[in-house]
């Protein structure tokens, strides 16, 4: 196996100018499409790309205007991981060398409907990189709550009103659920830290077997944020500690950023239409949950 430490780092200077995902119909400022675009720049031509139902498949494959410059395929909604596993197995059985299969699935496609197949894929250690672009709700169908929608979010199925603050559950702990499979490599990332994300993709590319990246990807349409702030808001999420950057490698967790102080949670939330209604009490609930999580991560991972 390649020593992951020795892989040349990807940066703005050496990254390819080739585009593998363009001409699609995503909303202006779409964070998911940034994640796909950057990841494919790292993965390159010899990539089979599989996407379940979701924003990126909806905007990328409208016949006859195909937006992927790599081989690409829309999968069944619950079967992204298994269809990708089949691609990888088929390629192997046909003797194809130097091939990577990648999945780009949304938060609902990953943490909810596609989870069983994903668990099976990791269990079999199939040679697939699974990237979950997390915009924290079912955006393609019109902003409905998923298993990764955070507490307090107003969605079309968790409306905020006098009786409820919007979503009443916290995000599923996806990264650790994946790591609990004892996967060869898993990471969290944010499009607000693109170089970190791309280098994690690069590590996964050079890891044989099942790998997973959970990348935070903003959605101006669903979040109620200006289109030009998509990268900024994805960075804010990390800086205020609601999203963390970490890796799981060789059975060990690693916190990539462990700031002494967090930026304001309230500032991050109040920039977004989906959180506008939140009371100080709601924000307190979110902050406490963050602090508890970080205390545990610092205790167990450092």
For residue 186, the surrounding DSSP H or E stretch is: strand 185-190
Q: Which range binds another protein by CB under 8 A, 46-54, 177-185, 234-242, 254-262? A: 46-54
As a whole number of Å, the end-to-end CA separation of the chain is: 26
Q: In terms of Cα–Cα distance, which of 149, 155, 151, 179 is closest to 252?
A: 179
| Interface pattern 72-111 for another protein (x via CB under 8 A) | xxxxx-xx-xxxxxxxxxxxxxx-x---------------
CB-CB contact of 127 with 88 (8 Å) = yes
Q: What number of chain residues touch another protein (CB under 8 A)?
A: 46
Bridge partners, residue 186, by sequence: 212, 248
Smallest distance, another protein to C-beta of residue 185, A: 21
Helix axes of 31-43 and 230-239: crossing angle, nearest 10 degrees? 90
Q: In terms of Cα–Cα distance, which of 294, 295, 242, 231 is closest to 268?
A: 242
**Smaller CB separation from another protein, 53 or 191:** 53
Does position 202 interact with another protein (CB under 8 A)? The reply is: no
Bridge partners, residue 130, by sequence: 103, 212
Structure token pair of residue 55: 């924003």
Smallest distance, another protein to C-beta of residue 195, A: 27
* Rounded Cα distance, 280 and 184, in Å: 41
Tokens 């672009």 correspond to what residue?
133
Q: Which of residues 110-129 bind another protein (CB under 8 A)?
A: 116-117, 119-120, 123-124, 126
Cα dihedral value 172, 48, 79, 179, nearest 10: -30
**Smaller CB separation from another protein, 208 or 296:** 208
Tokens 């999945």 correspond to what residue?
103
Smallest distance, another protein to C-beta of residue 142, A: 17
Candidates 10, 48, 185, 189; binder of another protein (CB under 8 A) is 48
Smallest distance, another protein to C-beta of residue 229, A: 30
Smallest distance, another protein to C-beta of residue 147, A: 18
Candidates 61, 253, 262, 294; binder of another protein (CB under 8 A) is 61
Q: In terms of Cα–Cα distance, which of 32, 115, 35 is closest to 80?
A: 115
**Smaller CB separation from another protein, 82 or 221:** 82
For residue 284, the surrounding DSSP H or E stretch is: helix 280-301
Smallest distance, another protein to C-beta of residue 32, A: 17
Instruction: List residues binding another protein (CB under 8 A).
Output: 45-46, 48, 50, 57-58, 60-64, 66-76, 78-79, 81-94, 96, 116-117, 119-120, 123-124, 126
């Amino acid at each position: 196996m390649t020593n992951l430490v020795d892989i040349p780092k990807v940066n703005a200077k050496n990254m390819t100018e080739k585009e593998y995902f363009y001409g699609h119909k995503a909303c202006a400022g779409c964070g998911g499409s940034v994640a796909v675009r950057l990841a494919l720049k790292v993965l390159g031509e010899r990539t089979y790309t599989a996407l379940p139902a979701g924003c990126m498949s909806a905007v990328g494959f409208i016949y006859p205007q195909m937006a992927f410059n790599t081989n690409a395929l829309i999968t069944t909604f619950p079967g992204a991981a298994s269809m990708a596993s089949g691609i990888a197995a088929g390629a192997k059985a046909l003797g194809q060398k130097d091939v990577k299969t990648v999945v780009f699935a949304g938060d609902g496609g990953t943490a909810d409907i596609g989870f069983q197949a994903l668990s099976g894929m990791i269990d079999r250690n199939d040679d697939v990189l699974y990237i979950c672009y997390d915009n924290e709700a079912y955006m393609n169908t019109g902003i409905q709550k998923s298993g990764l929608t955070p507490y307090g979010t107003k969605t079309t199925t968790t409306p905020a009103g006098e009786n409820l603050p919007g979503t009443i559950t916290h995000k599923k702990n996806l990264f650790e659920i994946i790591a609990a499979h004892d996967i060869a490599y898993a990471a969290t990332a944010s499009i607000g830290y693109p170089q970190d994300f791309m280098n994690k993709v690069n590590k996964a590319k050079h890891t044989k077997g099942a790998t997973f990246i959970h990348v935070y990807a903003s959605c101006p349409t669903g979040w109620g944020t200006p289109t030009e702030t998509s990268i900024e808001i994805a960075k804010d999420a990390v800086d205020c500690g609601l999203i963390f950057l970490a890796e799981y490698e060789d059975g060990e967790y690693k916190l990539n950023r462990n700031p002494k102080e967090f930026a304001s949670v309230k500032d991050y939330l109040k920039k977004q239409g989906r959180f506008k209604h939140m009371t100080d009490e709601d924000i307190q609930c979110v902050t406490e949950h963050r602090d508890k999580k970080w205390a545990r991560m610092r205790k167990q991972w450092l």
